[in-house]
Amino acid sequence: MTAALTAVKGLSLSNVLIIALLAVIAVPVYIVYRALNDAAVMDRLLSSYKEVPNTSGCTLREVKSRGGPARWAIATGFAFHGADRWSVNVILDQQPSTEQLVSNCETLKLIADNVLKAQAP
């Protein structure tokens, strides 16, 4: 204890300022470092999106909004004009089975065909 007290008494003003500056910089940097490496914190801060490969002819996407539950969307496009794209989607609370994916995809294609027929002169 006396050795530590002697060491503290022997510090100059510039040494104390450097230690204080390091503490002011190092503590927040360490806190940010720990937060960025914590999966639970990152789940609350970031959304995720990925397209799941499949052979149904429709696009299957898994999306997760900041800290929320995962959602799955099945989509098919039916009209394209320049950069504009029109599509029909179904959004599910749970990952669809292969049979559900194929069934929903076929239904979406029928809906898209009916929309295009209704617009035809």
Whether 30 shows a pLDDT value over 70: the answer reads yes
75 backbone φψ class: left, alpha, beta (φ>0; ψ -120 to 50): beta
Query: Does the pLDDT value for residue 82 go beyond 80?
Result: no
User: Which segments within 34-111 are labelled E, that is strand?
Assistant: 48-52, 59-64, 70-81, 84-92
Identity of the amino acid at 2: T
- Percent of the chain at pLDDT > 70 equals 98
**Average pLDDT for the chain:** 86
Backbone phi and psi for residue 66, each to the nearest 5 degrees, phi listed first? -20, 100
What are φ and ψ of residue 65, in 5° steps?
Answer: -90, 140
Instruction: Kindly report, residue by residue over 88-97, the tens digit of the pLDDT.
Output: 899 999 999 9
Q: How are the residues of the chain apportioned to helix, strand and coil, as percentages rounded to the nearest 5? A: 50, 25, 25
Whole-model pTM: value is 0.61
Mean pLDDT of 90-119: 88
